[in-house]
Structure 1
């Protein structure tokens, strides 16, 4: 008998592929699912023999080399003495005799809800705590206090929900016998009780403090340091301050999500500070040095002669601190040239004279489409 052909896999199949093929075939022809079907019983016997060999690395190696192995013609799986014709009292299958791998597979096939109920320790979920801070607080950083309320791992049981008991109790899943039996027609399927590990007894009881949930609610006041340079959308991570894990798993993290209040004059673009500064017609035409507000107070910037409205000038190193902790960005100053108001006849005459001196055709390049 070719074990690879029985399971429908190639000779180079991985262990996971072999297990997957066996599970698929076991669901199809297991005696519990095919009561009275002799062909299904024989097929189940063959695939179980094949899986017993191919799932064990040593047995598979000997089989591939053409050597001996524990299975062969007339093979009867451990605990399956009832296989074959003429069994008057039904067939008893002991999955425990085939090892944990078989037990796990049959648990998935016959009692998937049982597998879902048993959980392993899992990490807790992360939490997000929004915080709104001022524009200059974001630039300089600040220390703030947060009042938090949430679930933490119960300190009495470590988050498992159970504690050691001086007095053992009978396992409620198996009734103290250490095995779980399921009956389908003439077939009785027996497997080791997963809850008590086959001992039939439990030496733990529910934690009295958390009632078995593994978590308690606690109010906590913590000090948080917001670093300089944060902006809207920035997150500050506090490790282990998230939701409690399940069954003793590690807690999640807490993320302080920052929202920065807008400023009436300054704006942010990463580590750059943006602002708009008005200048006069004469300052734009002749050039000047003007005082510009900065986040540090103020700085003088040079307006080149002939500056146009909307032109941007740069103040190096006057921007926001870098979140990387090194250096600062720049401040970008956009100038806005203000058109002067004609307040008297003298001003009107000067502007008219200026216009006559400057006879450049400013719109000569604007031509309609032909």
Structure 2
């Protein structure tokens, strides 16, 4: 009698993906499993067909051979041979579905001890330290390997023993009706072993609390919010499990002169209105010293001047930012009598507050104000 097509058995198309195959298998296996159909030979035979179809179509190589040669690929002398399994009424339903639910129930594999926790250290830097780079020593409390038992957790001269509850698998099976569900072993908590005689120093954990000192090299160009990872400098895991990492979180103190935006530095430079009007040369600060800035005549307040390559060198691509100087024209204070007289004479020479020639912006503003009120009254 000719064998049925594997795709037809599962009720799926030839283009079905892995997820669709698993879904069809689960649905049909639950329906025809011998545990749900005790003594029904037809259901048992159907279940065998379903499982064989599933095993072939879930294996990429076998599926490719089946698609090319059909059942002949697995007959004697063909591409390969498939073994037929026998399932009685005592068949373990959990084992049948192990490959479907393995990612949920753990597949019966013993889990390794958990990796140690990551640690975080907040480091505040000055702007100069962030720009130029710095090496700093830090002290952090952490869980370190116990020197007495060398991280094993067992008393000297002894060692961990295979868990008698799960026999080293780290999991046990709980039966619920016709389901057999795998759960974490309550005795060893998935480690697969137990410590009968714990270390007196760490009490079986394999780690103890300590404060350690580290030398941390901060690269030049880091900025607020940057994070530096130190591999393996976090907490050690229990019973010899790998260490976590240490993350150094950078913050930068407010600077009295400079403000950083990406790789550029900004600063405000006050000038008196005489220099703003006549022009001149002033010294401005940089992180490397002072440089001269030429102020052209008739410079208005808020004017931004760029000084190339006096910013921050990027920690990521090495590009050098600029220094941006924003001039602010400062109104003079504490005037003496002579200065007041000179300023009044200067004001008169302008022809009043709206002098067209010397104060074009004032002239435009007041002309606009006059037109606004004229329009209101017309």
For normalisation by structure 1, the TM-score amounts to: 0.71
Pick from 249, 252, 261 the counterpart of residue 257 of structure 1.
Answer: 249
Aligned equivalents of 2:146, 2:249: Cα separation in 1: 27
How do 1:166-185 residues align onto structure 2 when only pairs under 5 Å count? 171-173=164-166
**How many Å apart are 1:246 and its aligned residue?**
7.3
Cα deviation, 1:94-119, whole Å, max 9, x if unaligned, reads 689xxxx847338759xx65758943
1:18 aligned partner: 21
2:329 aligned partner: 337
Aligned equivalents of 1:211, 1:309: Cα separation in 2: 71
Aligned equivalents of 1:45, 1:226: Cα separation in 2: 64
**How many Å apart are 1:10 and its aligned residue?**
2.3
Aligned equivalents of 2:64, 2:259: Cα separation in 1: 70
In structure 2, the CA distance between the partners of 1:141 and 1:36, relative to structure 1 (3 Å rule), is: same
2:79 aligned partner: none
Aligned equivalents of 1:79, 1:40: Cα separation in 2: 13
In structure 2, the CA distance between the partners of 1:203 and 1:274, relative to structure 1 (3 Å rule), is: closer
In structure 2, the CA distance between the partners of 1:44 and 1:182, relative to structure 1 (3 Å rule), is: farther
How do 1:208-227 residues align onto structure 2 when only pairs under 5 Å count? 208-209=198-199, 216-227=208-219
**How many Å apart are 1:280 and its aligned residue?**
0.9
* Residues 93 and 188, structure 1, Cα contact 8 Å, conserved in 2: no
In structure 2, the CA distance between the partners of 1:51 and 1:272, relative to structure 1 (3 Å rule), is: closer
1:297 aligned partner: 289
2:313 aligned with 1:306, yes or no?
no
Aligned equivalents of 1:271, 1:326: Cα separation in 2: 10
2:260 aligned partner: 268
**How many Å apart are 1:289 and its aligned residue?**
1.0
In structure 2, the CA distance between the partners of 1:144 and 1:27, relative to structure 1 (3 Å rule), is: farther
2:137 aligned partner: 145
How do 1:216-255 residues align onto structure 2 when only pairs under 5 Å count? 216-244=208-236, 250-255=242-247
Give 3-state SS (helix, strand or coil) of 1:257's partner.
strand
Aligned equivalents of 1:134, 1:151: Cα separation in 2: 30
How many residues are paired up? 341
Cα deviation, 1:272-310, whole Å, max 9, x if unaligned, reads 221111111110110111122222232221111001011
- CA RMSD across the alignment: 4.7
2:350 aligned partner: 355
Aligned equivalents of 1:167, 1:243: Cα separation in 2: 22
Give 3-state SS (helix, strand or coil) of 1:233's partner.
coil
In structure 2, the CA distance between the partners of 1:216 and 1:29, relative to structure 1 (3 Å rule), is: farther
Aligned equivalents of 2:33, 2:57: Cα separation in 1: 19
* Residues 167 and 192, structure 2, Cα contact 8 Å, conserved in 1: no
Aligned equivalents of 2:347, 2:220: Cα separation in 1: 53
* Residues 134 and 260, structure 1, Cα contact 8 Å, conserved in 2: yes
- Larger mean Cα displacement after TM superposition, 245-254 or 303-312: 245-254
Query: Going by fraction, where is strand more abundant, 1 or 2?
Result: 1
Give 3-state SS (helix, strand or coil) of 2:90's partner.
strand
Aligned equivalents of 1:70, 1:291: Cα separation in 2: 92
Structure 1 unmatched ranges of 5 or more? 83-90, 196-201
Aligned equivalents of 1:122, 1:363: Cα separation in 2: 76
